Amino acid sequence: MKHLLSTENLSIQDAIGILDTAEEMATVGDREVKKLPALRGRTVVNLFFEDSTRTRISFEAAAKRLSADVINFAAKGSSVSKGESLKDTAQTLAAMGADAVVIRHWASGAPHRLAATDWIDAAIINAGDGTHEHPTQALLDAFTMRRHWSKLNGTASTGSALKGMRVAIAGDVLHSRVARSNVWLLRTLGADVTLVAPPTLLPIGVESWPCKVSYDLDSTLEAGVDAMMMLRVQGERMNASFFPSTREYSRRWGFDDTRLKALDELGLKDTIIMHPGPMNRGLEISSSAADSPRSTVLDQVRNGVSVRMAALYLLLSGDSREAAPSLSSAPSSSKENN
Ligand code: NCD
């Protein structure tokens, strides 16, 4: 694996390999000194053309825990706002010796373009491209689900997949790269996925996706759900009115206090509630749901660092690159790139 652009074409071996490596990485986060020398001398650039809190600092923490040098590049305040092209930006980063570029871009396909051209010979990680994909978010979600699922089933979490787990993903699927990446990855891992949304917030062609589709959150819950993932209503990507009112949205599609109570009444005592953040409290999720013991929101953030460490480690120490670093020792000092 040279790049991590999408979950659609990620094999089950690669997916489980990342999740298992992330389990190893998680042990670093529990240590007093949260650092490994594995990527010493490597340079990771965080290239963010869109706002981000969690994803950017998560990648920064991940790269630093592996001892890489990190350069944070935000498009605002850079020459990009003077009209510099993606090509010129990429070539500049190549000239500075970037070994990995973590890119978030408002245009779907931007990371693929970087990976396909010869502008830069670095590992490219997609940190969210438009409404298309967000593979590391899906991987951290799967990691969080796998821990829960294996604990429930009394099985080891490494090596296993999510066979039989019922996952519902509800809300603004139309604008959500998180939903897309999750559907592909969860299919690969064997989970049973249902998308729940108003018809106006479902993309054209959703019938061909490897999942079920429902317009009714309550009946989906009644059918039984092991992980309930709520999506943010992405106001910034909406140029029209997709639902009558926020009140109506939260009543029909939000995970509110009534639905939180319904989980107990339905005997779904082990169902977890997930959200990638940032949350619109009171819209797609109520505060009591977000803060309840069922909520994995903060676990997802914590697990994100382990999963991104795993992705960076596997990409930068892969067979295609010289000087493969090992988990316990420092890499060779020679740097072949650029
Ligand atoms: C998501 C994103 O940016 O796609 N957030 C994240 O990465 N944690 C989801 C969202 O913005 O709703």
- What is the domain partition of the chain in residue ranges? 12-133+300-329, 135-299
Cβ neighbours around 122 below 10 Å, total: 27
What CA–CA distances, in Å, run from 63 to 56, 60, 68, 270, 318?
A: 11, 5, 5, 34, 16
Give the dihedral of Cα atoms 178, 184, 185, 189; nearest 10 deg: 140
CATH 3.40.1350.10 fits 135-299, yes or no: no
Q: Ligand 1: distance of its center to the CA of 176 in Å?
A: 8
The first and second tokens of residue 121, run together, are 């010979």
Amino acid residing at 227: A
Q: Ligand 1: distance of its center to the CA of 53 in Å?
A: 9
Cβ neighbours around 262 below 10 Å, total: 16
The minimum-distance atom of ligand 1 relative to the CA of 176 is 4
Q: Ligand 1: distance of its center to the CA of 321 in Å?
A: 31
Q: 20, 103, 105, 113: which is closest to 59 by C-alpha? A: 103
Show the DSSP H helices in 66-176 as ranges.
86-95, 110-116, 135-153
Beta-bridge partners for 48:
74, 104
Q: Ligand 1: distance of its center to the CA of 328 in Å?
A: 33
The minimum-distance atom of ligand 1 relative to the CA of 104 is 3
Q: Which pLDDT tens digits describe the chain residue by residue (338 residues)?
A: 899 999 999 999 999 999 999 999 999 888 898 899 999 999 999 999 998 889 999 999 999 999 999 999 887 767 776 667 899 999 999 999 999 999 999 999 999 999 999 999 999 999 999 999 999 999 999 999 999 999 999 988 888 789 999 999 999 999 999 999 999 999 999 999 999 999 999 999 999 999 999 999 999 999 999 999 999 999 888 877 888 888 999 999 999 999 999 999 999 999 999 999 999 999 999 999 999 999 999 999 999 999 999 999 999 986 434 444 445 443 344 433 33
Same CATH fold assignment for domains 12-133+300-329 and 135-299: yes
The C-alpha atoms of residue 203 and residue 130 are separated, in whole angstroms, by 14
Residues whose beta carbon lies within 6 Å of some atom of ligand 1? 54-55, 128, 134, 137, 177-178, 232, 234, 276-277
Nearest alpha carbon, ligand 1 atom 7: 55
The first and second tokens of residue 336, run together, are 């072949």
Residue 126 DSSP SS3: strand
Q: Ligand 1: distance of its center to the CA of 250 in Å?
A: 19
CATH class of 12-133+300-329: alpha beta
The minimum-distance atom of ligand 1 relative to the CA of 55 is 7
